[in-house]
Chains A and B, each alone.
Chain A
Amino acid sequence: MSKSIRIRKGLDIRLVGEAEKVLVQTDPAKVIAIKPTDFHGLVPKVLVKPGDRVKAGSPLFADKYNERVLYTSPVSGEVADVVRGEKRKVLEVRVLADAQIQYEDFGAGDASTMNRETVIQKLLSSGVWPVIRQRPFDVVANPAQEPKAIFISCFDSNPLGADLDFVVRNQGDDFQAGINALAKLTKGKVNLAVNPKTAAREFLDAKGVVRHTVSGPHPAGNVGVQIHHIDPINKGEVVWTCSVQDVLMIGRLFRTGHFDASRTVALTGSDAKNPKYYRTIIGAPLKDIAGAVGEKTRIISGNVLTGDRVGAEGNLGFYHGQVTLIPEGDEPKFFITEGWASPGFDKFSASRSFPTWVMPGKRYSMDSSQNGEERAFVMSGQYEQVFPFDIYPVHLLKAILMNDIEQMEKLGLYEVAPEDFALCEFVCTSKINSQSIVRQGLDALIKETT
């Protein structure tokens, strides 16, 4: 049964640098990098060595503890390097791309005529599988399990988030093919959460799904919020999630038989010179789309709340459809002119302690400054204002800090992912890094339950 949900708690962070709705085709990437670190908890077993020839769809590494799950190359070419860090941890596998991509053929076909095992096998062997993530734990789904439902969020409410209506345009057939494949994976429902403002026929005409409308401020577009309000996860239950761009990728796999890892990326942020949409590929060098950036610019693969900081030579993350450029804020600020005692006519705050709260339409150019030092929990009720879950966030965080597994379970850790706490982290007066605390709790729970 479809639901209409209005999220009341939350916060829209209005930043400068929205992407203009123009799609730019980038030149084919010369070197791409696939990062095992994009997949939390993955211990990779590298299957290639430098010099090996690969096609798009050839495996680069596999999950050491679940070798059916393969991670494949998005381009054809020659393996250039396996970059390792401390304790020989694999950081990147780099592939020199051919000018013309050659694809492994996994065979085209309509998923609705296949059985579940065939669909799973196709997704696994092509390396598309990791786009499907599971809750609890917010990790790559385990193909041996069956989820009670699948959720797809059809809008991005993150700061400067890509307009998915624009991204999905003219790709309705791929979207439907992807939905058909996902529908095979669960006996439950495939839930589509759309924004009431959407006009995209691709979303509104999709078949074989239950559509829900979700409105309100960020994090209304976060799939965790949608699950919580539509069909919450209880202990022992598993739900799978997939992003819109990843549904398209699944669709292309079934329609062409190829692992086509193309991605539309919104270039955003106050430091972006050409904030537009760029058509590129997973693992592509970010300088291809961001251009040359100054030293005082932070390059984020993803959005400002949950993205990964990468260097000037960094690459697009596996799950990311957005790149954000913001100024670094590592200069000390004098307390009266710019610091904590300043009037703050340019400071954004969810509290009303800066005069800017009377200017609801103002857009801000925020830098990466922490705007204060880390402190003990002092204020209360702050997180609750931006956390639309029936969960007590501070109590949950404290249970994690105390490593009290039983209490974490009881307080609802199964339902949340780090990204759901991103706004809590943003508004926190005490500057507590709640996303990493939640991740720590989820890791403890994985250890305990497996």
Chain B
Amino acid sequence: MKALRNLVDSVKPTFSKGGKLEKLHWVFDGLETFLFTPGHATTSGAHIRDGIDLKRTMSLVITAMIPCLLFGMWNVGHQHYLAIGEFTALGDGFWEKFLFGAIKVLPIVVVSYGVGLGIEFLFCSIKGHPIQEGFLVSGMLIPLVMPVGTPLWMVAIGTAFAVVIGKEVFGGTGMNILNVALTARAFLFFAYPTMLSGDKVWVSTDGQAVVDGFSGATSMGHAASGNMAGVVPMMDSFWGFEAGSIGETSVVACLIGAAILLITGVGSWRIMLSVFLGGLAMAGIFNWVGPMVGNAYMQIPMLHQLMLGSFFFGLVFMATDPVTATQTNTGKWIYGFLIGLLAILIRVVNPAYPEGMMLAILFMNVMAPLIDHYVVQANINRRLKRATLQTA
């Protein structure tokens, strides 16, 4: 470590004020503080500080996403081999499937990180701000919410749009209104609707001949077009053996992630629970109304309904984004519940959008400050009331 430290110290002057590469100071600073926690001692206020910092928080979130990523890689391969009719049994060809998936997925991860961090570095150098850790998580979320068939250039454009318009224009990490990864996805969804929905992008066939009866649509796609037979059984959905965006299909992987986030206290249990309850409530209402209106989609059992699509992925990783969610504890209950409610509502009722999670979360991101405003206002009124009671 000593040698590495000496190396860092020896090149430091080059990047400091007056050095040759002064412009890259903040990039250097970002890398230096990544390697070595800076020797900042407290100067004012509390003399000791909690061990946690944003780097550790963010790395814990990334750790929580790894099960989704690994399962996603395998599932990409699995879906591919199902489509071409090889290794159709679950247990067959584990490594072939995993390798195929890795070859498809890793480039998307690399592009997402490369483009996102590049822009982040550029902005920080121009603005003279230290590089903040927010994109480390967004950069991993973006590949996980993309269909495997998304072209790399599209990933790059989506990421660039999300980082610049979704985050940097608001002032960077901690200041954005919309979830960055979902901004990327929503941008691509509306800019290139044919590429990000339909039934061509979810399964990578690699141009090989497909077996008879293969459709490539997701369960949501089938259900939206009234083909209820195409919806996978609940347990397949639970484990994640279905077509969908790379990291979203497995409820189990999401739950492992949720466990990591909740045990470490990084993710908000209030939001996770309330999203779940909101989804359950809406699915329950549909179960009740469904038979009356004769809608088969509404009659999917509640839990099965929630395990389809990206509901759990959004619940664990997207809704809980602390920057774009509500800040108050009361607000979190309202925010989460409405996300769950809206996600299922949009999914089932609106034929234009097969899945509602992305739009529900983005919509509630926009509404979050309003919810907080009313929660805080209630606190203010309580205080005013106390004052008038005393004087009366």
Contacts and interface: CB of A to CB of B under 8 A. Distances in A.
A375 B174 contact: yes
A378 B4 contact: no
A329 interface: yes
Given A334-B4, A353-B266, A379-B57, A344 B38 contact: no
Size category of the binding interface on chain A = 35 or more
B48 A340 contact: no
A309 B42 CA distance: 10
A426 B37 contact: no
A384 B379 CA distance: 14
B267 to A, nearest CB: 10
Interface string B52-65: 11111101100000
B175 interface: yes
Interface string A388-426: 001110110000000000000011100000100010011
Contacts of A304: 46-48
A330 B379 contact: no
A351 B265 contact: yes
Given A380-B325, A431-B53, A367 B36 contact: no
B16 interface: no
Contacts of B55: 335, 340-341, 372
A371 B38 CA distance: 8
Interface string A170-190: 000000000000000000000
Contacts, number: 216
Contacts of B264: 351-353
A86 interface: no
B173 A427 contact: no
Interface in A335-351: 335, 337-341, 344, 347-351
Nearest to A335: B35
B172 interface: yes
Contact of B47 (A300, A378, A427): A300
Interface string B308-322: 000000000000001
14 contacts: A13-B48, A298-B47, A309-B47, A330-B39, A333-B37, A335-B35, A335-B36, A340-B53, A348-B51, A352-B263, A369-B37, A381-B268, A395-B372, A430-B54
Interface of A: 13, 15, 159, 232, 234-237, 298, 300, 304-307, 309, 324, 326, 328-335, 337-341, 344, 347-354, 366-373, 375-381, 384, 390-392, 394-395, 410-412, 418, 422, 425-431, 433-436
Interface of B: 1, 4-5, 33-42, 44-57, 59-60, 130, 132-134, 171-175, 263-266, 268, 270, 322-323, 325-329, 332, 372, 376, 379-380, 382-384, 386-387, 390-391
